[in-house]
Amino acid sequence: MGKEIAFLNGMMDGDEVLLIREGLITKSDILQILPEIEILLDKHNTGKIIKRKIVNIAIESVQNLQIHAFLDNANSYKQKPLFVLSKKENDFFISIGNLVNSKEIPYLKDKLVKINSLKDDEVKYLYSVIMKQTFVKFSDKGGAGLGLVDMKKKSGHPLQYHFSVIDDSVSYFVLKVKIPNE
């Protein structure tokens, strides 16, 4: 797990790691991770609303890892998909790491910058527009960017992200979502 954690270290900055999963995420993994998260949140006396936000963001995150996993020669890279639930002071964080095709970085970065620039009411409006559209521009892997918008909507905070170049064609993408325990 060394290199994946190294990619996250700058973004973890003293977080207490509560749960970590490394490797490709399957549907059965999702069914196993969610109850574990709920048990951990209960141990931290997390309220129902915050727990629901965290679980929903976790679902979006692991689905992102599952759907957007870089599979072309992925076994030749030491970096693996990574899911981390952490806590720092009174806030929870969900972080994911995944290999991405370097050609996708400008598109993904542009999407993240746009989402992060929106105010809460604009995020809610964009979310409703995407949900209502019948003809949405889907990515080649089936997503319309709704997951990222939903994460921002539920967290109420900008999505933190970082790209680390591995080679000419592949980078490691890290996304961190803050969920305040208010």
- Report the mean per-residue pLDDT for the chain: 83
> Mean pLDDT across the stretch 45-50?
93
pLDDT at 1: 43
CA distances from 119 to 45, 91, 150, 179 (A): 30, 21, 13, 16
The tally of CA atoms less than 13 A away on the side-chain side of residue 122 is: 6
100: β partners:
171
Q: What is the pTM of this model?
A: 0.84
Residue pair 34/55 in contact by the 8 Å Cβ criterion: yes
> Which strand ranges, in their side-by-side order, compose the sheet holding 91-101?
16-22, 82-88, 91-101, 170-180, 160-165
Whether 127 has a pLDDT exceeding 90, the answer reads no
> Mean pLDDT across the stretch 7-18?
72
> Mean pLDDT across the stretch 53-79?
80
Residue pair 86/14 in contact by the 8 Å Cβ criterion: no
CATH number at residue 104: 3.30.565.10
Query: With the C-alpha atoms ordered 92, 165, 109, 131, is the resulting torsion angle positive or negative?
Result: negative
Our count of domains for the chain comes to: 1
Find the domain containing 139 and state its range.
2-180
- Tens-place pLDDT, residues 67-118: 776 666 656 778 888 999 999 998 999 999 998 888 989 999 999 999 998 8
Q: Cα–Cα–Cα angle for 46, 124, 36, nearest 5°?
A: 30
